[in-house]
Structure formats: C-alpha cells, structure tokens
Structure 1
C-alpha cells in the first residue's frame, strides 16, 4: 500500500553543477524537494519507487544501483539509484543500462539528502501512456510491498512565457494551476481527469507520472500539501507531498 509520496520537478537545472551560474535561481525548489524527501523518510517505507517520464528506450524498470549521468548536459557528473543491491553479482553488471534524465535527477535528490531508508527501484513512464494504463501501473506499484513510497518526477507546462521552450500558450497557466491544486489536495479524480492531449500540446512531462501516483493512492486515504509552485524559465515546477 502507498504510505507516502513526494512530487518533484525533474529539470537537470535542479542540479547546481548543470545550472552553473544560474544555480541560485532554483534554491527554493531544491529546499522544497529536500523537505518532501523528508516526508518519505518519515513514512518508513519498505520500498521506494522513483517514477518519471522517459523515452521508450529508458522506461526500465531500473534496479537499485543503476547509474545515471549528466554528461548530455555538459557536466561530468555521475549518480546512482541508491547503493548497488547486494545480490552477490558484479555491481557494474547493469552499467550499460542508464537512468533517463528524470530519474537521474531523482537519484541526485536522493543522494543529496542521504537516502538510506529503504530499497529503491526506478520506473520510466512513457509520456503518451493512456491515463487508465498509468493508473493500472500505479496500482501494481502500490501492491509491491506493505509500505510503498513514491518519488514522482515531472514538470508542468513548458509554455508559460514567450521565452519558454514551448513559447507562450494562454492555456498553460490555468492548466498548471489545476495541477497544483490537485497535487496539494491529493485529488485523485482531478489527476485522473488530466487531458493527455492538452498536456502533450503544452509540453507537460509530468502528466503520466502524476496519473501513476493517482492509481497508486487509490484507497490509501492520503492528504496532500503543496510546498512549492513557480515557473522559472517559463516551465511550471511543483513540489508536493502526500502522507
């Protein structure tokens, strides 16, 4: 059963080495993410699953110890999804499999906060995945252990300003506002009802992972709290906790 969840944005710019001189601009987001991970640790889960958007080649699942990096963003920085599981096998056996960027950011957040509270797995979710399939995946995750926690990575629209990656779209701000409200209220029905086609048009990367969360939380009776909401660089970033 799902006992806690943290929702965090997944831009590589969250990593100070990637952001370089612009790093202070996301200090508040980083602090909120650290607080959100504290909620996960306090829940004392038996299993933590990190879920984020991914291309077809990077959907996993990814076992504990899977490596990732940020060299594609000009930074020679490696991360790992927790310490390699002690299976008696070579810890480098999965080195050819790498975390997609969203899960690499999640791994960086976990390393930054010193996560050592439960086994970790990663799952990349294809952004076109239909809402009902997302919910099904969430229910399967929640059934994996008696106490499951989710770290859900994803961004809201990338169309909030003329300088945004998707340019300005007047539909973006109200769409993001509804996402923020739903995450802050742990409103499962509202998350399930997110328009997948509109989300794609607005370059929302978190729609599918958030709908996985909605499926995982069915029957869990969790309450939500919105910790951070902003749109630096014209992209909606949200941090929330469910517990």
Structure 2
C-alpha cells in the first residue's frame, strides 16, 4: 500500500554542478525537495520507488544500483540509484538520475530503492495500472515522483509563451497539494504534450498508486516557474 509520496521537479539544473553560476536560483526548490524526502523517511517504507519520465513507450524498471550520469550536460558527475552496487547496463533517464542525486544528497538509507520510467505516450489508464501494481509491491510503499509542469510560462521558456500554461499549472498545483487523484487521472494528455509537461505520466502513476489509500493528504511545499518552467514540490502522507 502507498503510505507516502514526494513530488519533485526533475530539471538537471537542480544539480548545482550542472547549474554552475545559476545554482543559487534554485536553492529554495532544493530545500523543499529535502523537506519532501524527509516526509518519505518518516513514513518508514519497506520499498521506495522513484518514478520519472522515460524515453521509451512503456514502463521501464531500473534496479537498485542502476547508474546515471550528468555527463551529457557537460558535468563529470555520476550517480547510482540507492545504495546498490549495480551492474553495467542502461543508464537512468535524466529524471531518475535527478531523483538518485536527491536521494544521495539527503543520505537515503531507509529502504530499498527501485526506479520506474514512464514514457510520454503511455495512456492515463496504463499509468494508473502501473501505479496500482507498485502499491502492491510491499506492505508500505513510498514514491518519489519526478516531473516538471509546463515549459511555456514566458517568452524565453523552452516552449515559448502559451497562455494556457499558467492555468494548467495552477490546477496541477491544486491537485498535487490536495492529493486529488481524480484530477490527476483526468489530466489532458494532448494539452500536457503541447505545453511540454514532463510530469504528466509520473503523476498519473502516483494517482493509480494512491487508489488503495484514501487517507492520504497532500501538502504543497513549493511552487515557482523559473526559466518559464513550472516547478512543484508536494508531499502526500
């Protein structure tokens, strides 16, 4: 059963070495992510699954110890998912790599860790099914859900300015901050794609995982849109 979840943004810029001189601009977001992971630790899960956007079509599972890297962003920084030794193979997609970095930064050692990458083409129904399956993996399951909101909030945003972006992010912040699983399941897939929302599929996995625990309550810890991209931090507990 899902007992806790933390929702965090996943821009590689969250990693100070990647952000370089701009690193202080995301200090508040990093602090909120640290607080969110504290909620996960307090829930004492038997299993933690990091869920994030993936490059493929279907859900892709990554075992504890799976390697990740920020070398594609010009930084010689490597990470591993959890405490496992891992084996050579597929590298973590960037969202899971940021999640692995957050766990290492906060010294996570409270439960085994796995990763699940979900592609943008995965339907809402299949995302929910994947979440329900995750919730059944152990008696106490926690999720670290990585994803960004719209990337169209300003003229200089990666997706340029789209007037639909701010209302979309406002409703998303409300849904995540109140653990509104119905609203997350109903997210407009086509609109999310047009607004370059990377977190749509991961959030719908979260909605599916929460189905069996209606007592979960949401708290919005952080909401901002630096660089024209919506960054949200929330906890469910």
- TM-score, normalised to structure 2, is 0.98
- Compared with structure 1, are the counterparts of its residues 170 and 101 closer, same or farther at alpha carbon in structure 2 (3 Å cutoff)? same
Tell whether 2:161 aligns with 1:174: no
Tell whether 2:148 aligns with 1:135: no
Secondary structure of the residue that 1:121 maps to in structure 2? strand
Name stretches of at least 5 consecutive residues in structure 2 with no aligned partner.
none
Summarize the alignment of residues 52-201 of structure 1 with structure 2, pairs less than 5 Å apart. Answer: 52-56=52-56, 60-84=60-84, 91=85, 94-201=87-194
Tell whether 2:206 aligns with 1:218: no
Secondary structure of the residue that 1:24 maps to in structure 2? helix
Tell whether 2:236 aligns with 1:228: no
Secondary structure of the residue that 1:162 maps to in structure 2? coil
Q: Distance in 2 between matches of 1:96 and 1:175?
A: 37
The Cα of 1:96 is off from its aligned counterpart by 2.2
Runs of 4+ in 1 over 6 A off after TM superposition: none
Secondary structure of the residue that 2:88 maps to in structure 1? coil
- Compared with structure 1, are the counterparts of its residues 58 and 78 closer, same or farther at alpha carbon in structure 2 (3 Å cutoff)? farther
Q: Distance in 2 between matches of 1:66 and 1:211?
A: 24
Can you list the C-alpha shifts for 1:12-61, whole angstroms capped at 9, x where unaligned?
Answer: 00000000000000000000000000000000000000000010189530
8 Å contact 1:47–1:120 — kept in the other structure?
yes
Secondary structure of the residue that 1:218 maps to in structure 2? helix
- TM-score, normalised to structure 1, is 0.95
Tell whether 2:236 aligns with 1:242: yes
Name the residue aligned to 1:87.
none
Name the residue aligned to 1:45.
45
Name the residue aligned to 2:29.
29
